[in-house]
Chain A
Amino acid sequence: MTDAVVVDHVVKRFDTTTALDGVSCTVGTGELFGFIGPDGAGKTTLFRILATLLVPDAGRTRVLGADPVADLWALRQRIGYMPGRFSLYADLSVEENLRFFASVFGTTIAREYDRIAPIYTQLEPFRQRRAEALSGGMKQKLALCCALVHRPDILLLDEPTTGVDAVSRRDFWDLLAQLKAAGLTIVVSTPYMDEATRCDRVALIQRGKILVIDTPAAITASFGRPLYAVRAAERYRALDMLREFPETHSVYPFGETLHYADRRAGVAPGQVEHELAAFLETRGVAGVSVAPTSATIEDSFMERMGAPEGEGESDQAMDAA
């Protein structure tokens, strides 16, 4: 099986900001691959390079075996690209938008109907509606349709679920699963860590660098420390106190609970739970419960990312800014 995408030590700078700082990865044909990272990580820059819209300063890329710089015209026929910002014509109807994108690629809606049908059938009831009057979820479906109408071999979807409500977000990922089952290679980016589990493999990316590339299960399995969910009536006080606990590796809010990682190796089962509960209770924190929990992609991201934005390497970050 050939690789659908090869990214080899790619660097891209804008003025003094290094958006991509030596990024390397490969995406297999037929894979659903996710780039997961916060705003400003470099996701959009990478997608624009793969979509033939930006030229990297250094490094090599291949998409479907072709060079996005030298072979851009041939490659554009084979790529379906959905930019992060809604980029359809707001004052054209659903049908007019789709017809326009089909015509740009020398085809028609009728000819490509079987490819877009799973999505287009959901849009057809309001094909006369102007794109700007669609709900957020419907807009994204229309954009996906327009990216698919020329039967690309690969889809590049830059943050397709940003700004979309929870129901539409699920529907969108279900559609991507269908398209993958039909054989398409899909590269998608998202700032939402919980969406990682919908991908075959993901690259966690921060400040222009890839932290890790693997299956979501392998990434969470490699967290490396026993993790505990701590509940307490006063979450904020408990958090403050656990920072003082001598065996704390890390502790941070995680939803309704606190996630606590112990710095010791090989503690007996039940020992950490007991110690933490006793530590908090002797300091007057009520309603404490401690239970082992599994690391999520977010826990793994934090463990690997080092200092947050603007800290640690802050001087450098500020110089760059």
Chain B
Amino acid sequence: MTDHTPRNPAPGNPRTTGATVATTTEPNGIAIRAKELTRTFGAFTAVDHISFQIHSGEVFGFLGANGAGKTTAIRMMIGLLAPTSGEATVAGFDVYRETDAIKSNIGYMSQRFSLYDDLSVAENIRLFGGIYDLTDQEIRERTHALLARLGIERVANTAVRSIPLGWKQKLAFSVALLHRPTIVFLDEPTSGVDPITRRQFWELIYEAAHRGTTAVVTTHYMDEAEYCDRVLVMVAGTIAAMGTPTELKRQFGADSIDEVFVRLARPAAAREAAAGGGVG
């Protein structure tokens, strides 16, 4: 049990009930640790002995082309898919045995689906608060704080489909943090929004990271990768490179992560094309 994070669930909080260990962060500040993590589907090895550590409060980019194993790796980390072999802990919980505890200690925001379009802003917040076992009072308080923070009080009763896309994305992010998870997974969080909204969104992520929340960003848009503290590039199920964007650019003598990525992924893409066009 660690005490240095304010988001540690109180004893008796429903979301930790049944968890074998009520810890949300390891004492050494590691949010996610994976060792030789592997997943096969029949004869196909989607994730091939990957090892890495993500620190608490880090904005970590998980990069890869479609079919590189990124989605499989993430699905194992969020407790949706059991690994074939290897070890991993997420927020201190084991990915084989403690998947329920993992799910209640992480947040997830997908670019495609996060909120219910025909529910109002407030109804969406209440729904997700309920799913995460927050009390009515917690939901009321957090709804109020969330709307005030985003400056969108006056659309509380507006259907989500009618609010601008940029607001929707910020709302989706805040809803993903509603139950105060220690780790939040973001899938292509800023694709398609205008550049100012996009930066406001990164500021929300940085602010959350500054308060100690770990953000794992999966994307195949390399300019999103430039905003991460560290990135990991997956190619053909393995980790082809890992480091800060500056380190990777220096290592590959490239001007951008896009260029780094193309250099790493090009040979695999060519092999895949020769073999029949890939799967993704």
Contacts and interface: CB of A to CB of B under 8 A. Distances in A.
B267 to A, nearest CB: 10
B163 A321 contact: yes
Nearest to B270: A167
A134 B277 contact: yes
B43 interface: no
Interface string B162-203: 111111000000000000000000000001111111011011
Interface string A126-142: 10010001111110000
A166 B221 CA distance: 7
Given A191-B192, A301-B195, A317-B164, A256 B226 contact: yes
Given A38-B193, A301-B195, A321 B162 contact: yes
A166 B258 contact: yes
Interface stretch (B25-33, B115-123, B206-214): B206-214
A307 B197 CA distance: 9
Contacts of A136: 66, 280
Interface residue tally on A, bucketed by range: 35 or more
B136 interface: no
B155 interface: yes
Contacts of B277: 125-126, 129, 133-135, 138
Given A38-B192, A305-B194, A170 B262 contact: yes
Interface in A219-257: 234-237, 239, 252-256
A138 B275 CA distance: 13
B265 A165 contact: yes
A194 B116 CA distance: 32
A38 B201 CA distance: 14
A105 B48 CA distance: 48
B81 interface: no
Contacts of A24: none
Interface residue tally on B, bucketed by range: 35 or more
A215 to B, nearest CB: 19
A135 to B, nearest CB: 3
A125 B195 CA distance: 40
A135 B66 contact: yes
A39 B223 CA distance: 17
B246 interface: yes
Interface in B103-120: none
Contacts of A305: 194-196
Contacts of A137: 269, 278
A318 B121 CA distance: 14
B279 A135 contact: yes
Please provide the 6 A-B residue pairs with the shortest distance between their CB atoms, ordered closest to farther: A255-B226, A135-B278, A310-B164, A308-B196, A39-B192, A38-B194
Interface of B: 65-67, 155, 158, 162-167, 191-197, 199-200, 202-203, 206-207, 209-210, 220-223, 226-227, 244-246, 258, 261-262, 265-266, 269, 272-274, 276-280
Given A138-B277, A165-B269, A305-B194, 17 more contacts: A38-B165, A39-B165, A40-B165, A41-B194, A133-B279, A135-B277, A137-B269, A138-B273, A193-B195, A234-B210, A237-B210, A252-B199, A255-B245, A256-B226, A256-B245, A256-B246, A310-B166
14 contacts: A38-B192, A38-B195, A39-B192, A125-B273, A125-B274, A135-B279, A162-B192, A167-B265, A194-B258, A237-B210, A255-B223, A302-B199, A307-B196, A310-B163
